[in-house]
Amino acid sequence: MIYSDVESNLFDMNNTGDTTLLGNKLGMRLKRVEVYNWGAYDGTPYAVFTPNRENTMIYGNSGSGKTTLLDALITLLISKRKRKYNKAAEADSKRDRSFEAYVRGTYAPKGTEGGSLRDDSSTSCLLAVFSDTYNRVLSIAQ
Q: How many residues does the chain have?
A: 142
| Predicted model pTM | 0.73
pLDDT tens digits along 82-122:
988 876 665 454 556 889 999 999 887 776 778 999 988 88
- Residue 140 confidence (pLDDT) above 90: yes
For the chain, give the percent of residues with pLDDT over 70. Answer: 73
Q: What angle do CA 60, 62, 65 make, to 5 degrees?
A: 65
pLDDT tens digits along 2-25:
334 434 444 455 544 444 444 556
d(C-alpha 19, C-alpha 110), whole Å = 48
Answer for the pair 137, 32: CB distance below 8 angstroms, yes or no.
no
